[in-house]
Structure 1
Amino acid sequence: MVLQDSRVWIAGLSDEGGASSWLAAVMKELVQPDKEELEKLQQFVDGVLWGGLQSKDGPHPYGVRKSLFYYQPDEMPANYYDSNFDWKSWTSWNKQASEAVDRSYDYPHVAAAYWVLYRLARDRQGLVTNHPWDWYLNHAYETSIAMTSYAKDLAVFGQMEGSIFVEILADLKREGMNTQAEALESKMRERADRWRKEAYPFGSEMPWDSTGQEEVYAWTKYFGYLDKAEVTLDAILGYDPAIPHWGYNGSARRYWDFIFAAKDRRLERQLHHYGSGLNAIPLLAEYREHPEDFHLLRVGYGGTMGGLTDIDQEGFASAAFHGFPDMLKSDPFSGDYGPNFFGHAWNTATYIVNHPEFGWIAFGGNVKRKGKVVAVTPHDSFRARVYIASLGLWLTLDAGKFESIEVNPVTGVVRVGLAGATEATPKGLLRIEQPAKVSGVGSYRPAAPLQSQRGAYVVPLQKETTWLALNAGR
């Protein structure tokens, strides 16, 4: 545990280097929730985040400060600060600097924490109990708005984990919170309109950064600025390689963040730093619209899985792997790993592909032929998302898990097997989307009538596997 560091944000639970441990922890709960772990995270939100890292009131309500730890020796007991650190550089913020709320990059971490707890309070039973679901969604909304109010100078750039704002907006609309939805959409359109005017809209506070592309892609696609989404995607493909090596495939090229968030401060090639997980989000989103582009899947899935290589056998997640030959090991600080796992949690899925050379294959699952039927057992880390490329069909679960997927290429019928009911998950919530328009494929819907809840089909779960057939209409 890091209790002090001259880069005060690391011990101060904010910025990428300090917020990452709790961000990764809360993202894990999104689809693998654990009641005991969630009790601790709720305690963290109520005791540290809300009213601590984030202002409850005062001149900047919902503002997120830069660090809870700071260097102010005249307010601390003698010898409080470790003399082994150099406290004279700009990284050792004093109390006033640490309380500033003008760093936009600190806001998505907090918004993501609230949003995950909203989803669990809304879609599961008995897991999140400290507040009702709308408290968490409203805090996610207010945090998003606060970023555009208090951190305007940096909010003009795309934020790491900025995809969270798109989903918060979607949930506000699903819940009928139209006033908040209109306000948030207006603020985000202002940012996207600025990007629309720029030749290369994915700038950052550092000119060499690769953190802005993820959110810039998301909003330019959302508002229909497709030329800007395309140039952003091309930039990602320029620094995200397809190389048959665990450390380089889908590993966004980065060299500098060990200086700001790692134990070993070095300028070197970082293998599967958070650029991997975040930049994979646009790649796989684009693949789902263009399933004929197998390269997007290869690189995007490599980046999505790359973040898991930073986790050791005891569960510790490293900031990244030191790639220069004199070290070749994971850094012993978690550092800024959190956005990497955000990318994994946001993206992980099973992709089923009928490849022209390899035949039926699955990324994140096992394939077995049953006569004319292609049966796939998902083995990705969440088992809550499945994409069937030949149909352009994207199936996601807000609650529940996929146990099996069966595709009949002749009839087009898809059967999904959902895991049995649990105390927290008595029903599945299935969303059916078709981001790719595949010739000859109609609109999919459940064969049996099901109720709908906020745009998702409600599937009552049995004790054992619950099977559901999906047919394509015309």
Structure 2
Amino acid sequence: MNNYKNTIKSFLFVFLCAASTVNAQGYWDKITAKDSTLGLEQGFETYETTQFILKLVKASQTVAALSPKENPDFDFTPGDRLAIRSRDSLYQLGDVNFRIRNADSEAWKLYSTAYQRKPVKAFTKAGALAAADLAATLPEGLPLEIIRYYKVEDGDLILAFDFKNTTDHKIELGALGIPMIFNNILEGNSLEKAHAKNVFFDPYIGEDAGYLEVKKLDGKGKVLLVLPEENMPFEAYRPLLDDLTPRSIVFEGYHEWMSLSKAYATNEWEGVNQWNTPTSTVLNPEETRTFSIRLTLSPSIQQVSETLTEQEIPVAVSAPGYVLPQDVKAKLFLKYKAAVASVSIEPKGLLSVEKLENTKTGYIVYEVTGNQWGRARLNLTYTDGKTQTINYKVIKAEEELVSDFGEFLYEKQWFDDDTDVFNRAPSLISYDYENKRQVTQDSRAWIAGLSDEGGAGSWLGGAMKELIQPDQEQVAKLEDFVNQTVWGVLQNNEGEHKYGVRKSVFYYEPEEMPAGTYNDTINWKTWAAWNKEGAADPGRSYNYPHVVAAYWTLYRLSRYHQNLVTQKDWKWYLEQAYETTLAMVNHAPYYAQFGQMEGSVFLYVLEDLKRENLEEEATVLEAEMKKRTDHWESLAYPFGSEMPWDSTGQEEVYMWSDYFGYDAKAAVTLNAILAYMPTMPHWAYNGNARRYWDFLYGGKLSRVERQIHHYGSGLNAIPVLDAYRENPEDLHLLKVGYGGLLGSVANITKDGFGAAAFHSWPSTLDIDYLSGDYGSNFYGYAVNSSAYLVKDEDLGYLAFGGNLSESKNELSMQLTTAAKNAVFIQPLKLWITLDAGKVETVIYNTKTKEVILKLAAKDVYTSDAYLNLPEGYKLKYNQVRGAYKIPLKNKAISITLKP
């Protein structure tokens, strides 16, 4: 293993920034060739409030910097790039975009204060810190007078726009958006610098209850909240594609908060089902209307809900979340000063909503159930006129959903063409859902090449499906794939690079291949169309965990079930997993220094080596993992990868840091996860870990775009839920982690296709049609599928992954997860897992503290349950590999646990 140096990481970061943004640098060159129009040479004006230090450009009165008063060196905005971003068509906080038309006209006209900047006319306005007439920076002949001003109210900062209709006829305002310009440009920053100065921001697109939370990358410090003030419900969140700042792997792009969006919904977004109903408004002659937002600070990420309540914003909490399996009865808790006046569902019938008793702490409680598969919107209107929308995704019952996923994979994605010149058969190959066909060629070699995340995703998903819901015919196919295609084709089985994993089985080498091998409609002149030598390179460490996971799954199926695995014995598969893990650090040492996606599987392999008393192998593997973890311990933020910043490695970094007792590094890692993985009342963003470039590498619609429940959701749920079990009083962790857990299966279609992710842009709002790297997401679900029985001081007893009923001193939770192999009893801090067998129901006696497990009847594969319990719980059954081996019967049996 290499001796790592801190400089390596910084070099990699800067090098990859440069390499990946060559085109971006070209854009910057074009930008700087333009004249600066923001008027920086005229100076700045600074204002202090009880919370903020606000710095405005004097000529434009746009925001030059916005800092929390107690930390004036930190800027929420990209003020450090103000000089380079001072040209036309580069948005600033304080700009506004809108579309108008005469009330009887069909044509919309677009206006923006950012397109052709000129100094605005400042004037004194009572109660305002600064005010200006924006006419000069808008086209001549505009039939509106627009005044922008900043004021302080209750210590908060208000950004307001007064729109006045100066004509004698009605004007329809069909789009109104305020650009949210905060400092998420990571380009050129080391990881340490990025975590100190950059922010991520997440939207709750929830009308009058909507908000934007802006957080430092390190997850520490105060959170900037943008809230609706006057006539600014959060209706839509539009990407500002006309901003000239180059989007890339180091810049997701900017968005604007839209309170009106009809003009886009009837044009660019036509036919797309939006999060909220698109609206417009009419300004009568001489009418003035104010549109404003409020900026305030929350003490921490965990205290956002408290701050919202203080700001009189409706707060919603759902257990288990907003991805809703059809057999789950969710509880929705609402907290607001006004009562609910009306509730409606769109589309009608997708949800059922029943009001329950209120809690003692002032929440309004509803039971919400999903009736039909699909996206559903719950519309709430309060008695004071405020509206709130909560977007749900109704999915099939998890058990049925996973079954459909497996059937789709092993039927429609099973590739068995034994004439394939690349020797990819048999395998589970990538799939194009739009055209309903397997993907056997792609200019990105890995997509069709069974490796990388984008090509391994399908077979990895297929392996993990068998881990939690084995099917004999599917397991036989999986064994064929592993023993015929993985071992010896994808993976070298002899020679210098034995156990090394190729970057791709498919490659572009037309001189060597028969005529007609390659589709001439595909552009092969790209860096991604690897030749044979490039595809055979074993130096990309990220390819190894997928293979390890497949071997490990077959080991587990062989060891804990009967008549499922027939071609090799359990020991061979476990040894393959072990050897492949070591091969990663030997054949791919450079990238192995970083956390890997699914890197938690290496820990699971180590634990099984120990259970099997394979002491020599366990000692070697633990030592290699300790070297990697020691390196992470030496770094402030060990989250590098082949990308400059990534949300991939935190899963493994956390798990090994926790395992080796590096608690401070585990905490740093967890805080970083919480900075990019929010909890909010919207299925798309609740538990959605930030990913925004992988549509380029694993998607069909290829673009830089915030991805909805890409594999970061499933993977990062692993450490977050692990942290919750260690800190069971922190409901925030459970909400985030379970949001990611169910988010990982939210994009499985009704017929079982696993999509890479969901497109967040309002012009699409649909799944990507390529299977891509979905398997990594499903890995997160499979190894983390678990149920939680929770008592919260405010909300009472809750069920995540089950349905709860109460009777006197007993709580009964019927599990609804697909695996039914793990449950956490939070009041007892009791973590129960099964290596085989299923828990149908858990009964918890709140008085005696006894727990009764009802185990499902045996099946043809599973004659015994293997039950793992923490210290302090003992059963009369024999222990095998650390678990209690419990003979199952033809009917369910009950096991009583006493502390």
Q: Distance in 2 between matches of 1:205 and 1:18?
A: 17
Q: Distance in 1 between matches of 2:784 and 2:560?
A: 19
- Are 1:70 and 2:507 counterparts? yes
Q: Which residue does 1:464 correspond to in 2?
A: 891
SS at match of 1:284: helix
Q: Which residue does 2:610 correspond to in 1?
A: 173
* Equivalent residue for 1:275, pick from 712, 731, 738: 712
Q: Which residue does 1:101 correspond to in 2?
A: 538
- Are 1:130 and 2:567 counterparts? yes
Give the RMSD, CA atoms, in angstroms. 0.8
Q: Distance in 2 between matches of 1:49 and 1:380?
A: 30
Matches within 5 A, 1:251-266: 251-266=688-703
* Equivalent residue for 1:42, pick from 475, 479, 483: 479
* Contact preservation (8 Å) 2:487, 2:493: yes
Q: Which residue does 1:453 correspond to in 2?
A: 880
Matches within 5 A, 1:51-450: 51-433=488-870, 443-446=872-875, 449-450=876-877
TM superposition shift of 1:355: 1.5
* Equivalent residue for 1:23, pick from 438, 443, 460: 460
TM superposition shift of 1:86: 1.6
Q: Distance in 1 between matches of 2:788 and 2:600?
A: 21
SS at match of 1:4: coil
SS at match of 1:142: helix
TM superposition shift of 1:58: 1.3
Q: Distance in 2 between matches of 1:31 and 1:333?
A: 24
TM superposition shift of 1:80: 2.1
Q: Distance in 2 between matches of 1:343 and 1:185?
A: 22
Question: Gaps spanning 5+ residues in structure 1: where?
Answer: 435-442
Q: Deviations over 1:185-204 (max 9, x none)?
A: 11101100101110111221
Q: Distance in 2 between matches of 1:375 and 1:450?
A: 24
Q: Deviations over 1:289-341 (max 9, x none)?
A: 10000000000000000011110011000000011011111011000111100
Q: Distance in 2 between matches of 1:49 and 1:329?
A: 33
* Contact preservation (8 Å) 2:603, 2:656: yes
Q: Distance in 1 between matches of 2:741 and 2:840?
A: 21
TM superposition shift of 1:78: 2.5
Divergent runs of 4+, >3 A? none
SS at match of 2:898: strand
* Contact preservation (8 Å) 2:639, 2:646: no
SS at match of 1:394: strand
SS at match of 1:309: coil
Q: Deviations over 1:266-305 (max 9, x none)?
A: 1111000000000110000000010000000000000000
Q: Distance in 2 between matches of 1:393 and 1:231?
A: 26
Does 1 or 2 have the higher relative contact order (CA < 8 Å, sep 6+)? Answer: 1
SS at match of 1:105: helix
Q: Deviations over 1:125-168 (max 9, x none)?
A: 00001101000000000000000000001000000000000010
* Contact preservation (8 Å) 2:509, 2:531: yes
Q: Distance in 1 between matches of 2:840 and 2:803?
A: 11
TM superposition shift of 1:371: 2.1
Q: Distance in 2 between matches of 1:301 and 1:99?
A: 38
SS at match of 1:416: strand
Q: Distance in 1 between matches of 2:544 and 2:851?
A: 40
Q: Which residue does 1:440 correspond to in 2?
A: none
Q: Which amino acid aligns with 1:457?
A: Y
Q: Which amino acid aligns with 2:458?
A: S
TM superposition shift of 1:77: 2.1
TM superposition shift of 1:208: 2.2
TM superposition shift of 1:82: 1.5
Q: Deviations over 1:380-428 (max 9, x none)?
A: 1211100011111010110000011000111111110000011211110
TM superposition shift of 1:119: 0.5
Q: Distance in 2 between matches of 1:318 and 1:386?
A: 28
SS at match of 1:285: helix
Q: Which residue does 2:348 correspond to in 1?
A: none
Length, aligned pairs only: 462
Q: Distance in 1 between matches of 2:522 and 2:674?
A: 39
Q: Distance in 2 between matches of 1:273 and 1:445?
A: 41
SS at match of 2:843: strand
TM superposition shift of 1:444: 2.4
Q: Distance in 1 between matches of 2:514 and 2:569?
A: 41
Q: Which amino acid aligns with 2:825?
A: I
Identify the structure with the greater strand proportion.
2
TM superposition shift of 1:9: 0.2
* Contact preservation (8 Å) 2:639, 2:645: no
TM superposition shift of 1:462: 1.4
> What TM-score does the superposition give when structure 2 sets the normalisation length?
0.51
Q: Which amino acid aligns with 1:469?
A: T
TM superposition shift of 1:358: 2.0
Q: Distance in 1 between matches of 2:843 and 2:874?
A: 15
Q: Distance in 2 between matches of 1:412 and 1:451?
A: 24
Q: Distance in 1 between matches of 2:874 and 2:840?
A: 19
SS at match of 2:783: helix
Q: Which amino acid aligns with 1:181?
A: A
Q: Which moved more, 1:70-79 or 1:387-396?
A: 70-79
Q: Deviations over 1:422-466 (max 9, x none)?
A: 1211110000137xxxxxxxx2233xx110000000111111111
Percentage of identical aligned residues = 53
SS at match of 1:310: coil
> What TM-score does the superposition give when structure 1 sets the normalisation length?
0.96
Question: Gaps spanning 5+ residues in structure 2: where?
Answer: 1-437
Q: Distance in 2 between matches of 1:415 and 1:336?
A: 39
Q: Distance in 2 between matches of 1:71 and 1:223?
A: 44
